[in-house]
Amino acid sequence: MIPILVLDLFTELIGTNWRIFHWKNNYLIYNLYLVLSTPLFLYLFSILLAFTRRQKQYYFGAAILLEVLVLYNFFFDQGPQEFNTYSNLLIQGPISCFPAWPSQGWLSAAGMKRPLSCRTPGFVSMP
């Protein structure tokens, strides 16, 4: 997806050159990256996982809940000037598990249309 690549490019460009903007740290740019990239990655996974209609409804419900929690953490809990570790952990857990589900048969029993061609190496060898 081109938007993810563009977002990554600008985040890394600004994040590595944060002193030019006279900022105290580069946490704000990486926190904004977490807020903006989460829906993009979740949408990409919704396409790759090829859910049935009902599974897609549950998935998008969980994705909206995840984004609401990330936004809450950004605006109210840890804030934009401290790196949002809670958001990062909350995002990385589900995103790293999505590719493994069809390969382990967890969702295939629920009627997956086709197996994923994308797999993370850490989950391929799970029993």
CA distance 27 to 96: 23
User: Per-residue pLDDT tens for 6-45?
Assistant: 998 999 999 899 899 888 888 889 889 989 988 998 888 8
pLDDT of residue 3: 87
Span 95-111, average pLDDT:
54
Find where tokens 């990655």 sit.
41
Find where tokens 């977002």 sit.
7
CA distance 110 to 115: 12
Name the residue among 110, 2, 114, 123 with its Cα closest to residue 59. 110
**Winning range, highest mean pLDDT, from 60-69, 82-91, 103-112:** 60-69
Residues contacting 54, CB < 8 A, separation 6+: none
114 burial class (0-12, 13-18, 19+ CB within 10 angstroms)? exposed
Name the residue among 93, 88, 59, 94 with its Cα closest to residue 73. 88
The pTM of the whole model exceeds 0.75: no
